[in-house]
Structure 1
């Protein structure tokens, strides 16, 4: 829209300088055409979509011209943040603070309603059966929302996390095999290597803080471990070689999060804001660093002739073979950004939430520790022992239920799409709030807001009435490719920490979940750790 308006104003300046009648007639026709275009885009099209949804009995808040419901959303958000009671008390239901407009409208209009941001029409769907059908749909008519993809492009490009249709299927074909269970099992050794320095660092912190107890802020250390894992396993390098990429990605994530991806509306300004300039600069730096890493890795591989190809080599080959040499650079860089972000940021945040909850519930530390002692009598954790650790798995499932890093399942109807009894018109975006699904008492029981890992004793299907709405990694065709990788890494890190330390929450911890593209601890996670001294047998 911005480029169209700029082109029109440029043409307008030329026409105004002309004197003959035909030029003024042409100018009039252009003005009428432009007015018609904006009338259709800003008013008629959104009205038509709203009418199609209302005909099906779907209600929602009344939108205003140009802004839709954005101003109302901002007012509700401001009021909720003012009344927020973040602090020492840990309440797991954070949706009414982070996403208060969705919760307020859900109570008013039910689990299905419509709203708009600017000229974009949205459909909120938290009806379990409809969510199940949407997630399991194999139709390419449902894809990732294009306007969100555009806003996240500096961070994720058009890699596998945000692409649609043939491009998505093509990328999945190349990337997915590297994350199959057998491949991930072979990465356990690398994960242990990456986690061991963290154990040594925390041991040193205990010594430095008196020899008994140390206070640790965990999220930075966990990001370092997770980044090292993804670098070693997929790119053959250590975190120290790629730390600049991770640091700049984290900075870019924070800047983009400040733009309010959920309900911000595009501006018609011709000159980029200071924030947009910062985003573009970071994007260029990150892409340059990634490409340098790719080039270096390609040179190393040509000299080493490795027997096993890492993920980067497979992406390189797949891009050249499937998308052609001319398009391969963007393909490779975008997917590297996706893997760097999803492969370390989300996993590190999930482990941070795990440690917070285990610090609150030391009895589960004891259960995991007892299980480790049985499964690994010599104290050595390896790829064969991890599948036997049921307690760790139950805790991880419960943490991902209460604090899923991804807050939403989002789709856009790329063509008219049928979901259950609903006909979703082309152009409508569908949003499902995952934390609301994960705490629905009708699905999970009256204790849905409590930390109870035992609910997963018989797996996901035994934990709730409708397993398809447990979606921390998505479900169906768009199931997160890195699911196995993330779960195994979480098992490795948590098992190592619990086998070596006992820990509790620090008095400095303030429970304040924040949404910055993913739901993370807003003020970090501080814990008090002590060495675990294993009792010797008599």
Structure 2
């Protein structure tokens, strides 16, 4: 695909640009002088595609996996969420972003899952220059790590039930849930917050709504709860659940 686009004159046809076209325009300014430069462009484009695939697939699929496991263990919340889906969506085939915005319980469940099983475990930044924060001096070239999971499960911030699944803590919004602290960071924070956050939320809520509308989710007796932390939190022994078609 990259070879074909390098041969294409004048860029992508109007209205038909995709993500790969954006990469190619950024990496390749319309010319290359030798084969090694051409190969470098191809390698860079492949690398960018891999990053987007990981960021957009690995994180979202893990979150949905943990959500289905958790809802199979908390049938009361599953029933409440399903009732909301039927009330808001009915049997609509075309689900819009406005529809998804009305799914308040689903949003609360997703936020609670993002708190308990954040998309990444930590945020790391390299300090560009000597910096002072609250009397602390941080030298240039220091590597700072923000432990997202520790903040998300801190009893000082979220209360003694910080380790429990309790979506209603988000009933009055994220800031209220975190007792006024900037401690909910599943997507990062500030100018470098995840560029795909809004799309991912639409994707995740659409998937949950469609599953809950068609199936009940039940706990499998073969499931072993053994989260393992890598870049993301993954179920070490898989995530078997039972889906039963609703009558």
TM-score, length-scaled by structure 2: 0.87
| Match status 1:456 vs 2:164 | no
1:437 and 2:161 correspond:
no
Tell whether 2:26 aligns with 1:318. yes
Q: Does 1:372 align with 2:80?
A: no
* Kept in 2: contact 1:468–1:475 (CA 8 A): no
Q: 1:408 to 1:345 in 2, by over 3 A?
A: same
C-alpha distance in 1, partners of 2:202/2:154?
28
Q: 1:523–1:494: structure 2 CA closer, same or farther, 3 Å change rule? A: same
The CA deviation at 1:333 is 2.6
Superposed CA offset, 1:177-208 (max 9, x none): xxxxxxxxxxxxxxxxxxxxxxxxxxxxxxxx
> CA 1:496–1:297 in structure 2 vs 1: closer, same or farther (change >3 Å)?
farther
Deviation per residue, 1:384-410 (Å, 9 max, x gap)? 311211111111100010011311111
Query: How has the CA–CA distance of structure 1 residues 301 and 337 changed in structure 2, closer, same or farther, with 3 Å as cutoff?
Result: farther
Deviation at 1:381, TM superposition (A): 4.8
- Report SS of the residue matched to 2:216: strand
Q: Which residue of 2 aligns with 1:339?
A: 52
Distance 1:507 1:387 in 2: 35
The alignment of Structure 1 onto Structure 2 pairs a total of residues equal to: 240
Counterpart Cα distance in 2 of 1:484 and 1:342:
14
Q: CA deviation at 1:313?
A: 1.1
- Unmatched segments (≥5 aa) in structure 2: none
Name the residue aligned to 2:76.
Answer: 363
CA drift at 1:517? 2.1
Structure 2 counterpart SS, 1:471: coil
Contact 1:349–1:520 (CA<8 Å) still a contact in 2?
Answer: yes
1:444–1:464 contact (8 Å) kept in structure 2: yes
- When the two structures are superposed, what TM-score results if normalisation uses the length of structure 1? 0.42
- How many angstroms apart in 1 are the aligned matches of 2:154 and 2:127? 26
SS in 2 for 1:312: helix
The answer as to whether partners of 2:2 and 2:42 remain within 8 angstroms in 1 is: no
**Taking CA–CA contacts closer than 8 Å with sequence separation of 6 or more, which of the two structures ends up with the larger relative contact order?**
1
Shift of 1:424: 0.8
- Contact in 2 for aligned 1:405/1:518 (Cα 8 Å): yes
Shift of 1:328: 4.2
Are 1:519 and 2:233 counterparts? yes
Query: In the alignment, is the contact (CA less than 8 A) between 1:373 and 1:379 conserved in 2?
Result: no
Greater helix content = 1
Alignment partner for residue 62 of structure 2, among 349, 352, 367? Answer: 349
1:460, 1:467 within 8 Å by CA — same for their partners in 2?
no
What is the distance in 1 between the residues matched to 2:227 and 2:241?
16
CA distance in 1, matches of 2:210, 2:227: 26
Query: Following superposition of structure 1 onto structure 2, how do residues 139-178 of structure 1 map, counting pairs within 5 Å?
Result: none
Deviation, 1:421, is 2.1
Secondary structure of 1:342's partner? helix
User: RMSD value over aligned CA atoms?
Assistant: 2.5
1-structure distance, mates of 2:114, 2:19:
26
Q: CA separation in 2, counterparts of 1:371 and 1:301? A: 51
CA contact (8 A) 1:405 1:520 kept: no
Partners of 1:368 and 1:302 in 2: how far apart?
50
